[in-house]
Every structure is written in structure tokens, then in C-alpha cells.
Amino acid sequence: MNRRQRVCVLGSTGSIGVNTLDVIARHPERYEVVALSAMSRVDELLAQCLQWKPRFAVMPEREAAARLRERLREAGSHTEVLDGAAALVDIAAHPNVDTVMAAIVGAAGLAPAIAAARAGKRLLLANKEAIVVGGALFMHAVEEGGATLLPIDSEHSAIFQCLPEDRTTWHQRIDHIVLTASGGPFRTRDPKTLADVTPEQACAHPNWVMGRKISVDSATMMNKALEVIEARWLFNLAPDQIKVLIHPQSIIHSMVVCRDQSVLAQLGTPDMRVPIAYGLSFPERITSGASRLDLLTTPSLTFEEADAVRFPGLHLSWQALRGAEGSTTVLNAANEVAVDAFLNGRLRFDRIHAINSQCLADVQPGDCASIEALLDLDARTRAHALRLL
């Protein structure tokens, strides 16, 4: 490659954002950071700006942006601070950006991710909620814009790595896929005690260190439910072509079962820098910083069926996929509200599922043809979920 890839990291202060910068730091000859963005952590974004010297820093909230601008000026930095919600969309489609890492959490990342897709960027998608909310509209934007969509979620990266580059062969080849799930921190906990779970317990994942929202989703297995929906769109599969298997060691990151019953799997130590490095370098491979998988010292690989009593939320993914268009948007919005309420001590852990399934039953999706319509549906569902709380 002659010119360095110019990268914009949306959500740069988060777990995925920090891991992305870690991989980029290993390859200064290949990547240049041109834009960073965060919601509220001014100190962290300031430190990143001083280290990376991006041309732009984006903070949607004006007050936080003003503080960052002031601090950067004091430090003699030339980074320009953009603010307002539209700034995320503008930067994702900016002509000086080649690659967008979409690592915002939640539906808030939808509009910038679609903007990157429409602008034909190399789009590294960690923000699974964007594709769950955006569905057909999201995939249409990718196609229309000629974007290169690369999955960062470890399971979807695994599936992607098991498939040939030519997407037109995927349909013919795949019988079904198996998404592996660790089972989270409560895989063996007595389901009767799930009412007492605290946010700290829910966020203590056995194999991965992640943001708080996805950590709670992993504990309820709503994360896997969102991933089932994500896989439906990324790989153009029917709902019953997507299966889930608990694999507590998180060594096999997912599998493709081909028509001839040959099973392809991708293995590795659980480290998000592997899928991130693949997204950045595809179709090449670069070093990621992940440690080597040593099968001789790896505990036995085991598998279990997901327990429907312990993890009632998992099946909501298939229910939403078979429901009216927009049902997955409803499910995601309900879950964002429920998880937030749980993290703030306003909802019991074992009630998250009740909010999600009730919203799915109560909210009628209607129009899903534009971002505005989807965000309106998202807002309607949030209001309903808040009433249910």
C-alpha cells in the first residue's frame, strides 16, 4: 500500500476504541489516525488527541466539546474539535477518511455507521446495535455506497474468516452457522438467585473485558440475541440457519457448517485485537498483539446447550427476526433502556427480559424505510419501556 489508511475511530475511549488504537500503534507505516470521538470522557479523549495528533476530535455534547477545545488549545494542539450530533455523521463520511471504526455503543451509532456506508468507506463494524436497528436499510446503504463492511464482533469475524472473499458464493456454501457463546458470568449460577445480581457482578465477565452495556448483555445472553440478528444481515441468512452453542472457554470463536457438513471454525485466544487487526488489514494479515494459542496448555474445549430458563432473552432474536420488519429495532431499544435501568439500580437483573419481551409484544413497528423512521421507532419503544419500568 502506497498511502497510509486514514482511520476515524468513533468511540475511541471505549474498550474497542482503545484496542483499535493499540493495533494501529503497532503499524504506524500503514495507518494514520485522522479523527477520534467520544461521548463524555474529556480527559481520556484529550490524552488520545495529544498522543495521536488527529486532524479532528468529535464530541457530540457541546459543553464537553468546549472543555476539550480549551484543553487542547492550552496544550498547543492543532486538533480541531467538532461538536453536535451531526458532527459524527459528517466525520464518518469525510473525504479525508478511508476507514471508519464504528465502536460507539447502542443505537446512537446508527446514523454515523450508515453515513460511512453510504460514503463507501471501509467500515469496521463493532457497534452491533447499529446493524440490529438498521437491518435492511443498513445493508442497502452498504451496497449503494459500495462500502467494504468488515465485522469486528469476534463471532462474526470468525464466520467471515471461514468464508471465501467472494461473497456471491456464500449462499451456495452455507448450510448454517454456529455462534459460540461463553455463557457469561452466570452460566452455572442458580437461576433462582438471579434477582440479586448487582451491576458489578454482571460486568465481571470470565473471558473478556468490555464496556458495561455489552457486559450486561453477555450476562443475560441478550448479546448473543443481538449477534444472531447481526449475523442474519451480515451473511444474509434465514433465522433458522443461525444456531447458538455455549462454549465456556471462548477459544472457538464461531463455526460455519457447509452444505457437505464440513465444519470450518476459527480459533484463537480471546482478544479483540485479532478481529480488529483483520478488519484493518483485510485481505492481508498483520500482527495484532494477541498472545499465541497454545493448545497443549488450553483446557478442554466443552460445549453446552443454552439454558432457556436461565437465558430467556436468547430466543427473542428469532422471534424478532420472524416478526414484522422493525421488530429488531424494538427489541434493541427496549434492551438499551432495561440495561441502563439495571446499571442505575432501577431494575432487577431478572426483569430485563420482562421489559424486552413486553415491548416486543406491545410496540407496533410501522414504517422502517428511513433512518428517521427507525429512530422514531427507537424513541417510541424507549418511551414505552420507560413507562413499563
What mask, x for binding ligand NAD by CB under 6 A, covers residues 205 to 234?
---x-xx-xx--------------------
70 annotated to bind ligand: no
140 annotated to bind ligand: no
Please tell me the distance from the alpha carbon of residue 315 to that of residue 301, in angstroms, as a whole number: 25
182 annotated to bind ligand: yes
Nearest residue (CB) to ligand NAD, 98 versus 340: 340
223 annotated to bind ligand: yes
| Contacts for 193 with CB less than 8 Å, ≥ 6 apart | none
- Is position 83 an interface residue for ligand NAD (rule: CB under 6 A)? no
Identify residue 188 by its one-letter amino acid code.
T
103 binds, among ligand NAD, Mg ion, none (CB under 5 to 8 A by kind): ligand NAD
Phi-psi region of 235 (alpha: psi -120 to 50; beta: other; left: phi over 0): alpha
**Number of residues in contact with ligand NAD, rule: CB under 6 A?**
26
Sheet holding 31-37: strands in order across? 80-83, 56-59, 31-37, 5-10, 99-102, 122-125, 148-151
- Is position 153 an interface residue for ligand NAD (rule: CB under 6 A)? yes
**Helices (H) then strands (E): counts for the chain:** 16, 11
Q: Kindly state the cell numbers that stand for 237.
A: 441468512
What mask, x for binding Mg ion by CB under 5 A, covers residues 126 to 165?
---------------------------xxx----------
Q: Which residue has the cell 479532528?
A: 56
Nearest residue (CB) to Mg ion, 32 versus 227: 227
CA distance readout (Å), 304 to 32, 114, 247, 271, 301: 43, 36, 7, 22, 11
Q: Pick the stretch among 204-212, 332-340, 361-369, 375-383 that binds ligand NAD (CB under 6 A).
A: 204-212
Q: Pick the stretch among 37-45, 132-140, 252-260, 291-299 that binds ligand NAD (CB under 6 A).
A: 37-45
Q: Which residue has the cell 428511513?
A: 370
Q: Which residues lie near ligand NAD (CB under 6 A)?
A: 11-17, 38-39, 41, 60, 103-105, 108, 126-129, 153, 208, 210-211, 213-214, 272
Q: Which residues lie near Mg ion (CB under 5 A)?
A: 153-155
